[in-house]
Chain A
Amino acid sequence: MNTRNEKSTALFRKEMVKESLKQSFVKLNPRILIKNPIMFTVEVCTAVMTIVTVYSAFSNSQGSFVYNLLVMLILFITLIFANFAEAIAEARGKAQADSLRKTREDTPVKLIKGNKIEHTSSSQLKVGDEFECIAGDIIPSDGEITDGLASIDESAITGESAPVIREAGGDKSSVTGGTKVLSDRIRVKVTTRPGESFLDKMIALVEGASRQKTPNEIALTILLAAFTLVFTIVCICLKPLADYSGTTISIAALLSLFVCLIPTTIGGLLSAIGIAGMDRALRANVITKSGKAVETAGDIDTLLLDKTGTITIGNRKATNFYPALGVSEQDFIAACLLSSQSDTTPEGKSIVELGYKRNTQERKIVTTGGRLIKFSAETKTSGINLEDGTEIRKGAYEAIRNIVESAGNSFPKEVEDTIVDITGNGGTPLVVSVNKKVAGVIELQDIIKPGIHERFERLRKMGVKTVMVTGDNPLTAQYIATKAGVDDFIAEAKPEDKMEYIKKEQTAGKLVAMMGDGTNDAPALAQANVGVAMNSGTQAAKEAGNMVDLDNDPTKLIEIVEIGKQLLMTRGTLTTFSIANDVAKYFAIVPALFMVSIPQLAALNVMQLHSPASAILSAIIFNALIIPILIPLALKGVRYKPIGASALLRRNLLIYGLGGVIVPFIGIKLIDLFIGLFF
């Protein structure tokens, strides 16, 4: 957890601010700035003002030199603020990336060439190469284990200090470059070229180097550009209209009006919002392959979740022992313990665990001399034959019933009732027989994660339907689904069932997200609109999905959905705020422009601003200052509340729409009180 805390850095760190300030000036380069049409027009205005300022040093026709200089400087600062917002967002992403990159420094490699081992460095690796790692080695590259098993410390990436087990074959065969082998020895085949691994892609992504505008961002930019265009027209047309009315408008005043009216607030913060969205995903330890995936996550209608590990904690656990009539509880527990000695499955282990806890008489469990009977598909039971000839078997109801009845014994009615009860409660019964007579039933239960019910409730309020995927029979699945509060379930699921479900939902026009780790999940991950692969999963799964969760935490999808929604909301609310601001700015600047030649228009000066010059300066100062004031909001995102779309719209309209109208009136007035002392 320590590493995680380090990651959630303060919003503005000293060195970050310094670097961002430097970047703010670098970004003034028109070739870079033209990507942001709104701020580009501000730059053009600043350039024009510079000329006017120089001119005003020699002539008085455009107002005083000091006044023009101030306007020019404020416009320039507006630009710097907007650039700073983007730079600080990038810097935060970069800081994140740098800490990850530390793990990417050239690591030594033990390359396997035939039977020999060659020492080289990670930069020399090619796809398909095989290398060896033993305890203490840093894994030099992403790859798949071809041989062996090892415990690995992935804290460098995930921030979780508990080591994880990775082994050849199966779904947990992939390793990530930069992680450390803690024990044992593995052989790993390189799957990605150095520089193209997930971490590298991620680093590039968060640094903004390969950041592409998302469709939604493009649409918003179009709207903002249109606003900019119309205000260009408004301002250009104002000149002849003023000429007609016999008013002279100075260039400084006209440009100030223009810069105030165009949506500089959202224009300056737009790219910062986008970068921060991906950064927030990263902070949640999710690598997104594109910003679009984060946005799409906000639109998800249906969420497919595996039962195991997501809704329930790990595997089923033994929760109760029900001895048959005539069998003492302690005898039964002893039998259960004996029968489970050879059972290494999680269920078996949980029986032993519970058994020892309940073994109040401290009876000694002796298996020496006994013969362990392993589980076989043929008998569907496992157990032990003790030295004294006692045969203990444990297995599913059908299997034990066969054993019991074929020996001529009857299957007790009350045990059957218990079994029905257990099944009805979503549990799985395991029957234990001693010498072909029923001794009792062990109840295995899924443990539903605490708090999961509330999380599903939250998702429902967001409008997301949750679907549980499980291998259980429909009855058990139904029980768990109800208890956990999911909306639907797929029971006895095969991998292709997931795929079918996703396709069905998509045909109905819904967006589907799913999480998966195995190779057989890959097609479904690719089909889903948002596919989150676990970092522990296979390479194929990771390639197929569009996000990778470094924590391997299946509930992460819920966070991703919220991050996506936050991203869109932040854009929407700041756009509204920006446009709403214009009302107050009009009431500051328009009277200031015409008050001298048309005294009646002084009535529009509702804020009672001190003088035309102070009114114009106050308006542009407010316009500049609001950008840095809103940077924290842009970076953190507007908080999402699952209160339903209409209520949310009402709430945000009140805060950012109405607030956007009122705040600048107050802000401009306050600034004017100060500026009024000088102008």
Chain B
Amino acid sequence: MNTEILGVIVQVILMLAISYPLGKYISKVYKGEKSLLDFMKPLENLMFRISGINPNNEMNWKQFLKALLSINFFWFFWGMILLVCQGSLPLNPDANIGQTCHQAFNTCISFLVNCNLQHYSGESGLTYFTQLFVVMLFQFITAATGMAAMAGIMTALAQKTTKTIGNFWKYLVLSVTRILLPLSLILGFILIIEGTPMGFNGKMKVTNIEGSTQMISQGPVAAIVAIKQLGTNGGGYFGANSSHPLENPTYLTNMLECIAIMIIPMAMALAFGFYIKKKKLGYSIFGVMLCAYLIGVVINVNQETTGNPRISAMGIAQHQGTTEGKEVRFGSAATALWSVSTTATSNGSINGMHDSMKPISGLVEMLNMQINTWFGGVGVGWMNYFTFIIIAVFISGLMVGRTPEFLGKKIEAKEMKIASIVALLHPFIILTSTALAAYIFIHAPHFVAGEGGWLNNSGYHGLSEMFYEYTSCAANNGSGFEGLKDNTWFWNFSCAIVLIIGRYLPIIGQVAIAGLLADKKHIPEGAGTLRTDTVTFAAMTFAVIFIVAALSFFPAHALSTIAESLSLH
């Protein structure tokens, strides 16, 4: 047990050790300062020239968003066509068929919004071609989209007064060539060395110890797993995600993959402080996120390393904690750490079944996604935190008797309107969709039966499964309480709608706030200004975030996770 805890501590320390220099590096990349990978410049310039883009052409926030949304719109059609037609496209040695329309719609949207919710299994649902040119491509560019949006916001906040917030295309390309690609290459090579497959052969025929033959799926796994972890994507190559022995072969790869989940989201939070030259503010934001993350880790590790009281009551010893749905290769603690990391960051990859974890662990995982600001998705997680800073600044500004301001910009009705909508959109879509599903489940049993009955478990846990699914969609996380049979018409469509709203409305709102603030007159900091880089303000922001989430989701949790947990004893 102690070595398991030690493993958790080492992973957390490594995350911190890597994310600090990475944050400094990211800030340099977006600022255009000299950095390690300047040799990529010719490649980037070539891309700009081919696309007819002038990377130095500054955009205002509206042009910035237009570019972001239009390229996403294009990718949607790209993904849809390839997924539906994959059966007749090359690189399909296992002769997998094309996806149905509603499944392709769900898959395409899910990867487009950096969520990677999977209502299919990679072994049979995709071909090598779509794995590479839909899944992996989207894993790079959608992560880069989020990072580019954050770079735009940083540009807006760093300057005193500005109408332009940088060039979207430039940030998009730099995010890929300077950050995501190099890190993926490093991780990918380590994975190959450790045994993850990377090739284009079809299923492998293996004779196992019992003498029977087994077909083992393989393909270009290492490449996809690396970016899946680094870009807070989470969409596994195989259905079992990182609990699959080929996707996550050893304890070392497990550590690296778990660390890979966290480093870019962590580095982005730090990069903000370096970029706007307010390190203390960067550290204080990072500090709040880290505290919240670590609280979650402590709770889940504790929950999972101690056994289930119902099983203990039967007189069965549980020295290894709750082992159902876990890889014994990694142990309970490593799975608990992963479960918190993957939900805090909107990654969504798993190395154990969240559905099998204790109810309180499920509560922490869901709360992570419902709050969606503890590091969060690359770029967008920090942006969600930014929304709450606006609200916290507003309330605390009032409390000290001064018209609220953040980084020298006054927060007024317009920004408050957008921030309120964005902050409250999240509970809105999660609760309404869960309520709708619960309503249909009770009041239209024929429809549900026609869709295969939906739930594996009844009662509180069944509600948790539905609640988790929409939470995961709204947070663009992509992990699932896999007890839910989700590849149905209803779930494919309803999830896709939640995914779209959960992704684009916040980005539009957050970039708009930054654009509006950037345009305002800069007020120099005075003795009466409320400083936002203090412990007090950090605590205030934490309280605002936690209370908004706790207040919105408490009743739903009371009926699902809390009720289930209380009935264990």
Contacts and interface: CB of A to CB of B under 8 A. Distances in A.
Interface of A: 215-216, 218-220, 222-223, 225-227, 229-231, 233-234, 236-245, 247, 257, 261, 295-296, 298-299, 301, 460-465, 508-510, 564-569, 571-573, 575-576, 579-580, 582-583, 586, 590, 593-594, 598, 600-601, 603-604, 640, 644-646, 648-650, 652-653, 656-657
B421 interface: yes
A464 B526 CA distance: 8
A582 B555 CA distance: 12
B547 interface: yes
Nearest to B558: A590
B531 A238 contact: no
Given A216-B412, A244-B462, 11 more contacts: A223-B416, A229-B424, A238-B555, A240-B438, A463-B528, A571-B398, A583-B550, A586-B551, A593-B555, A600-B563, A600-B566
A245 B401 contact: no
Contacts of B543: 653, 657
A653 B536 contact: yes
A234 B522 contact: no
Contacts of A460: 527
Contacts, number: 210
Contact of A244 (B398, B402, B416, B442): B442
Contact of B435 (A229, A237, A579, A645): A237
B524 A508 contact: yes
Interface of B: 391, 394-403, 408, 411-413, 416-417, 420-421, 423-424, 427-428, 431-432, 434-436, 438-439, 441-443, 460, 462-463, 521-524, 526-531, 534, 536-537, 539-540, 543, 547, 550-552, 554-556, 558-559, 562-563, 566-567
B522 A222 contact: no
B413 A645 contact: no
Contacts of A239: 435
Given A243-B438, A600-B563, A509 B408 contact: yes
Contact of A598 (B435, B534, B554, B563): B563
A159 to B, nearest CB: 27
A653 B530 CA distance: 14
Given A261-B551, A572-B396, A565 B413 contact: no
B26 to A, nearest CB: 29
Contacts of B428: 229-230, 233
Contacts of B427: 230, 233-234
A238 B547 CA distance: 18
Contacts of A604: 558, 562
Contacts of B567: 600
Nearest to B416: A219
Given A219-B411, A219-B412, A463-B526, A649 B555 contact: no
A594 B547 contact: no
A601 B528 contact: no
A350 to B, nearest CB: 38
A231 B551 CA distance: 8
A220 B398 contact: yes
A565 B424 CA distance: 29
B547 A649 contact: no
Nearest to B467: A241
B435 A236 contact: yes
Contacts of A223: 391, 394-395, 416, 420
A575 B526 contact: no
A649 B530 contact: yes
A645 B528 contact: yes
Contact of A298 (B399, B401, B562): B401
B463 A244 contact: yes
- Listed from nearest, the 6 A-B pairs whose CB atoms lie closest are A463-B528, A572-B398, A565-B401, A226-B420, A237-B435, A572-B399
Contacts of A241: 434-435, 438, 463, 555-556, 559
B527 A463 contact: yes
Contacts of A222: 413, 416-417, 420
A645 B403 CA distance: 12
Given A222-B417, A572-B395, A640 B524 contact: no
20 contacts: A216-B398, A219-B411, A226-B421, A230-B427, A233-B428, A238-B435, A241-B556, A243-B442, A460-B527, A509-B521, A565-B401, A572-B397, A572-B400, A572-B401, A573-B399, A582-B547, A586-B554, A594-B559, A645-B529, A653-B396
B522 to A, nearest CB: 5
A674 B436 CA distance: 40
